[in-house]
Amino acid sequence: MAKNLVIVESPAKAKTIKKFLGSGYEVVASQGHVRDLPKSQMGIDIEHDYEPKYITIRGKGELLASLRKEVKKADRIYLATDPDREGEAISWHLIAALGLNDEKNKDKQISRITFNEITKNAVKEAIRHPREIDMNLVDAQQARRVLDRMVGYRISPLLWAKVKRGLSAGRVQSVALRMIGDREDEINSFIPEEYWSIDADFDVKGEKKPVTAHYYGSADRAEAGKEKRTDLHTQAEVDAVTADLAGASYAVSDVRRSERSKKPPLPFTTSTMQQEASKALNFSTQKTMRIAQQLYEGVDIAGRGTIGLITYLRTDSTRISEEAAAAAREYLGRKYGEEFVETVPAEKKQTGAVHIQDAHEAIRPTDITLTPEMVKAQLPRDQYRLYQLVWRRFAASRMAPAKYETTQVRIAGEGKTKSHVFTVSASHVKFQGFLTVYTDEEDEGLNAGMTGGIDERSVLTLRAFHPQQHFTQPVPHYTEASLVRALEEQGIGRPSTYAPTITTILARHYVVKEDKNLYMTELGTVVNNMMKEAFPTIVDTRFTANLEALLDGVAEGKVNWKTVIENFYPDLDEAVKKAEKELSEVKVADEETDVICENCGRHMVIKYGPHGKFLACPGFPECRNTKPYFEKTGVACPKCGKDIVVRRTRKGRTYYGCMGNPECDFMVWQKPSKIKCPRCGGLMLEKGRKLVCWNEKCGYVEDMPAADEG
């Protein structure tokens, strides 16, 4: 029997596939890439058509020698690396590294195979349909790798020279950092605006519980029936409404009942899986991808052996194969009833979809009959929770919409001068549909509100008003989930880049994560400002999205990859040379302070570390004494009168706190101003180009004075 050799990427996958194919096949692993650009240099021949210089990755020599021995024994070699651009490139590199195109191997059959799931049927079907290497996909990967190398190896040394060693810039990472910085600027410059709401409790004759309605608006009697929503901005406006309604009678003016449908969610893509795992399971993007990889490569399930539980995890497609859809319809119809099964597949209703990578399916269970409960005993807790999320999402996407009845009630009160309207609404689920297996926070609120047995004949009596003061809130800080969503929506990066991008900016201490939120550190702000000043195009979201579209064009065979590089590098080279001459250093000199080192008596100096400034003894390495550095703002603490200083959280985020901490707990995130509030004499905070009183109840706001006004 002819010897067949299958080369995959991971050893875990190799073991699983070997069991599927039997003794006629040898399955080995390349353990990822075997060739790459050298680490010691950029590795791109600028003078000769930007040709990459690939070398064997350090430590892969013995592995390649072992693979060559297996190649000698085989008559046919199947390259079965992952089914994406990166996997295509790995197969192409294997051909070169193993000499599969050499004269000595001319009689061997070399084929590329891919499978979207690691199951026996999928693997055997792939063996039956081999193909050639898709050079369009390889070139798309080469273009991305070369572009990323050019940005990293030209700009990173500049950051080392201007700031400190160990920093890095990246084509996608720097854009993500700018997005976080822009969001933080937007939050810091946000000016809260006061507004009020009025809730009213009504007793309904014949009902035990009162009904709570929300104030909607008013209308002059001359415009009866044309009431409009009234925004309440101050307590005085609230008092005017309640005073006008003093002694008023109330009646139900309208009751409207309607039926609405809620469509099932689409099956998971890489991005939506990362987002939902973050919200529902509190997983980081990196953790989500690591666990998903384990579920994809294979898990030992009692009675079924080792199988991959989910399909390939790097995809932005919501497509589902006909076989998987048919299996889901059969299973769900049998388990829940035919009325719960979809009539129109969820992905068919998707509109505006772009950037669908290759021909991948959405992420789904390889076998829907293998429920989470059936495999719970064989899976570690985190694997079980992620599999359950994927299984439920896929099952929901194949099910019928949920239907619920909504009731909207309008209550009219005749005031002394105007008619006033209050509204109350409620929703009641009539048909669970996909909610049987999958709900999110929005779905959990479908039954909110109570209207009881209220109708147009109901007799209402006002029990009490409940006015409440509110302040508008800024947009929230990015979380890993919302950043992934924003990157995807703006066309920046692709499924394989989201997790490593976020991991990198966290590892470089450009950003810290606290309570899921991402915050810029002082170091991140310095790097971001430098990138915006010197390389505005690199950190421009539209430019980066257009570049991603060009890479998609390369993958589709519509754009030559060298053309993309030729159009990109000269501008980068010019910008780097200009920045080297014109960009100011942001290095912090060893500024001497009046703080005395208690160990050796020297004046301590200011140093700059990954988390910002700190005090260090200049006698290093003989004296290694260090202390936190407190930068005074020149503003007194409103609680105890001591200095307010610049502080940093344990993870590096900047805030302003009292020098007397921990005895005094004063802290704010915005920079305190030396200008006192003219209304209450309190502390003012800088928010963008505004000064805002620290005392929320005061609410005073004014424009920040020009620089020459102090």
Whose CA is closest to 390, among 464, 466, 283, 300? Answer: 283
DSSP letter at 301 equals E
Helix orientation angle between 173-188 and 541-555, rounded to the nearest 10 degrees: 150
CA-to-CA dists, residue 526 to 519, 553, 584, 585, angstroms: 14, 35, 12, 10
Contact 138, 92 (CB under 8 A): yes
Distance CA(385)–CA(326), nearest Å, equals 25
Distance CA(504)–CA(176), nearest Å, equals 10
Between β-strands 25-29 and 4-8, what pairing exists: parallel, antiparallel or unpaired?
parallel
Distance CA(640)–CA(318), nearest Å, equals 58
Q: Which uninterrupted H or E stretch holds 295?
A: helix 285-297
Q: Residue 684 contacts by C-beta under 8 Å, 6 or more apart in sequence?
A: 672, 673, 675, 676, 677, 691, 692, 693, 694, 700
- Residue by residue, what is the 3-state secondary structure of 528-576? HHHHHHHCCCCCCHHHHHHHHHHHHHHHCCCCCHHHHHHHHHHHHHHHH
Write out the DSSP string of 385-409: HHHHHHHHHHHHHTBPPEEEEEEEE
Q: Phi then psi for 503, rounded to 5 degrees?
A: -60, -40
What would the two tokens of residue 420 be? 């006033």
Between β-strands 4-8 and 76-79, what pairing exists: parallel, antiparallel or unpaired?
parallel
Catalytic residue among 25, 78, 215, 312, which? 312
Contact 231, 238 (CB under 8 A): no
Spacing of C-alpha 417 from chain mean position: 52
Q: Please say if 312 is a catalytic residue.
A: yes
Q: Count other Cβ atoms within 10 Å, centred on residue 134.
A: 18
CA-to-CA dists, residue 211 to 163, 192, 205, 314, 456, angstroms: 62, 31, 11, 49, 14
Rg (CA), the chain: 32
Q: Which residues are catalytic?
A: 312
